[in-house]
Structure 1
């Protein structure tokens, strides 16, 4: 494991391994992952969106990403231990996209997206991460469905 990469409210966070960092995207239960012709709609109203993201401090943004990563990591570990849970779900797709980005790099992706698309502040943070960092690196979407790129 490498040394500290960020500080969240004074707590050093170590690089969590490439899969864990990638898995933070797993909460973005997004519609681009599993369509065939028509887009499935995911209610983004309960997810953190750009209108609030742009007002958050870097520490709060990193804490959000870290929390999301922990939730998805639990699912990944359960899938590793319980064969019945091994499916091409969102977490599996995020792991497939393993790009080894740090939380700081992921935060920069989101910040850049909202800076370049101020008219899209209604898009969820997790949707941005899915579209920008996962979709370009996977061959099929959730449950093997075609991706809309």
Structure 2
């Protein structure tokens, strides 16, 4: 069990590094994980992706500190996703892609934002 947790953590950290590199540089494109990738990945890979995304959100929250800028999305991400654990989040994403098989090109992060975080965060 310890080894599995270590692999999940390592996968999440690698994903976090990939997501963080060109965050401010508009001249660079980063790989985008879509539903096509999601449905072909194993449950462990899906959890690793979510762990990496959560790490990036947590990192951004830490960097922004106690008073985030007015136009930040971090409050919505944190409040909206706090309603889920990783298994529930993965199941909700699975369910959305299963109900929308014609939308597998939609990025997973977009599904997380519009289908999970924003609805649960309310009017922030």
Structure 1 length-normalised TM: 0.59
The correspondence for 2:117, drawn from 134, 144, 147, is 134
Aligned to 2:106: 123
Partner Cα distance (1:104, 1:60) in 2? 12
Q: 1:121-145 CA distances to partner (integer Å, 9 max, x unpaired)?
A: 00011111111112213314xxxxx
The correspondence for 2:77, drawn from 87, 94, 104, is 94
- When residues 60 and 9 of structure 1 are mapped into structure 2, their CA distance, relative to the original with a 3 A threshold, is farther
Higher relative contact order (CA 8 A, sep 6+): 1
Partner Cα distance (2:35, 2:3) in 1? 22
Partner Cα distance (2:94, 2:2) in 1? 17
The correspondence for 1:103, drawn from 86, 100, 110, is 86
Partner Cα distance (2:34, 2:51) in 1? 16
Name the one with the larger strand percent: 1
- Deviating 4+ runs (over 3 angstroms): none
> Structure 1 stretches of 5 or more lacking a match?
1-6, 14-26, 28-43, 141-149
Task: Calculate the aligned-residue CA RMSD, in Å.
Answer: 2.7
- When residues 119 and 98 of structure 1 are mapped into structure 2, their CA distance, relative to the original with a 3 A threshold, is closer
> Structure 2 stretches of 5 or more lacking a match?
9-18, 20-28
